[in-house]
Amino acid sequence: MRIAITGGICDGKTTILGFLRELGFSTVSADEVVRGLYLQPKFQAALAERFGPEALDGNRVNRDFLRNAITQHASARRFVNSLVHKSAMERILQMTEADGPAFAEVPLLIETAMQGFFDRVWVASAGYETQLSRLIERCGAEAPARSLLATQLPTEAKEPFASAIIRTNRPEEVVKKDVVDLANGLH
């Protein structure tokens, strides 16, 4: 059984995935898969061709440059998404072929209409203000945090696709109990 965990940036998807890892479930993160793709020469060459040499930092993708480009320009975001999504999803589906439940953190699941590849969809939802607060802490400033949030589909738009919604703006032990209860309900 494949279960996707989705939601917006700073909604707590990675925290949920971490709880599931602790419980011994098979897990995969789309962000980790994409980081692996970015190490491949063909992806690096495509990014350098589209964005110029600034897209690379030696033999690595310049993630700060790329994040800035996709935040500021919808065409850049569409290009990067078209470059990596198919390969990333193929890898995620391979990695979640398991006898028991396998969980995949897929931030852009609904945006890419890939929810049909999963038996269940869990949506992590912290609420906009909590997302913003967490993202300001990550970015170091409010303006880039708001810009990044503005580029994404609001989490509320993902909730109608959910088999379960996990509210992550509560104490960690409460969120963990919810995750354990949901996971135990799969058996």
State the CATH number of the domain containing residue 66.
3.40.50.300
Report CA dihedral (166, 167, 171, 175) to the nearest 10 degrees: -10
153-177: average pLDDT: 96
Q: How many domains does the chain have?
A: 1
Mean pLDDT of 106-117: 92
Other Cβ atoms closer than 10 A to 90: 11
Which domain does 37 fall in, by range?
2-184
Over residues 7-28, the mean pLDDT reads: 95
Place 187 in a pLDDT band, splitting at 50, 70 and 90: low
pLDDT of res. 64: 86
Residue 64, CB-side half-sphere exposure with 13 Å CA sphere: 4
Per residue in 88-103, pLDDT (tens digit) is 999 999 998 877 899 9
Residues 6+ apart with CB under 8 A from 160: none
State the average pLDDT over residues 143-154.
90
For the stretch 54-97, pLDDT in tens is 999 988 899 889 988 988 888 998 999 899 988 999 999 999 88
